[in-house]
Amino acid sequence: MNASNVNPGLSRSLNDRMIAGVMGGIAHRYGWSSTWLRVFYVVASLLSAAFPGILVYLLLWLLIPNEAD
């Protein structure tokens, strides 16, 4: 198996970040637009009274390593 064909694991983006690179890293991993993922996440968070979305983001920030790590 060629190493270039292996998908990298989930990591926070160092180049595509607004706060901590969580959404940029997720978007990069799955080939999605980071802008649309951020918009969807903010809307979903606001519709759920914002608190769960903020808590989930903070947990992802702590659990997902940076690209360089």
Question: Tens of pLDDT along 21-31?
Answer: 999 999 999 99
The predicted structure's pLDDT at residue 6: 41
Distance, in Å, from the CA atom of 46 to the CA atom of 27, rounded to the nearest integer, reads 20
Q: Number of folded domains in the chain? A: 1
CA distances from 55 to 32, 37, 59 (A): 23, 17, 6
Residue-wise pLDDT for 31-51, tens only, equals 999 999 999 999 988 888 767
The predicted structure's pLDDT at residue 69: 61
Residue 57 falls inside a structural domain: yes
Q: Which residues contact 59 (CB under 8 A, 6 or more apart)?
A: none
The model's pTM is 0.78
Amino acid at 55: L
Residue 46 falls inside a structural domain: yes
Reading the block at residue 15, the tokens are 């180049």
Residue 9 falls inside a structural domain: no
Domain that holds residue 52: 19-69
Residue 7 falls inside a structural domain: no
Residue 33 falls inside a structural domain: yes
Percent of the chain with pLDDT over 90: 46
